[in-house]
A = this chain, B = another copy of it.
Amino acid sequence: MQMETGNNPGASLIRKLEQRDPLSDEEKHVLANSVARIREFGVDEDLVSEGERPNYSTLLLEGFAARYKDLADGRRQITAIHVPGDFVDLHSFLLHRMDHGIVALTPCRIGAVPHEILRHITERHPHLTRLLWLSTLIDGSIHRESLVGMGRRTALGRMAHLLCELFLRLQVIGQTEGDSFRLPLTQAELGDTLGLSTVHVNRIVQELRTAGLITWRGQVVTIENREGLVEVADFDPAFLHLENEPR
């Protein structure tokens, strides 16, 4: 279940943006040339650390990454899971200081896009600017949906919701196979994402399994009963804003 991200480092981002609104050849060209440098990170390495003021933004080309905040007592909360094509810290372009870290959940390949180039895009390419802005707005929309889950859904609903969401997001970038996808997160990481203990994540996963909603072997999750999972999750994909429309 490996996919070709294409030779062009910007390919996955272009694909993701074009899902929402077609790009002109010129815009594609600008994006394709925006990656100044490719870097690789190993598991548990920070792509960017809290407190940094990077002068480039990080485009995730391959692998899974997570935004997280550490608490005073050593626990942590993952606030977002990122997949290839996600511009994981585009916000540092304007926010400057990272108020959270971004860690590699699997080995990651990233493209560094200098803020200078992003600034140039905002000066010269308004439509492309709107699409990059859009991509941060979708991040925000996902945050809001997570907030609903954390505040009002049970552990079971939250887990089911996350699986539905990741399935769709991975489908967009061609990283699903039928009803299956690779989910290389440990149960501890899922707990940090959903605000649950590792033990409880384990029990919830088993509940989803015995309910016949999913199978989960190794790192491969298969959705066995889509409708059932959607119902448990109370899942509505509207928050992903997958529609293709002029922006």
CA–CA, A122 and B131, complex, Å: 11
Tell me if A211 is interfacial: C-beta within 8 Å of chain B: no
| A133 in complex: contacting residue of B80, B136, B195, CB < 8 Å | B136
Tell me if A199 is interfacial: C-beta within 8 Å of chain B: no
CA–CA, A123 and B99, complex, Å: 30
Tell me if A245 is interfacial: C-beta within 8 Å of chain B: yes
The verdict on A71 contacting B150 (CB below 8 Å), with A129-B129, A140-B91 known, is no
Q: Which residues of A contact B (CB under 8 A)?
A: 67, 69, 71-72, 75-77, 79-80, 91, 94-97, 99-100, 122-123, 126, 129-130, 133-134, 136-141, 143-148, 150-153, 192, 194-195, 234, 238-239, 241, 243, 245, 247
Given pairs A77-B152, A91-B140, 8 additional interface contacts (CB within 8 A)? A69-B145, A80-B144, A94-B133, A94-B247, A99-B144, A122-B130, A126-B126, A133-B133
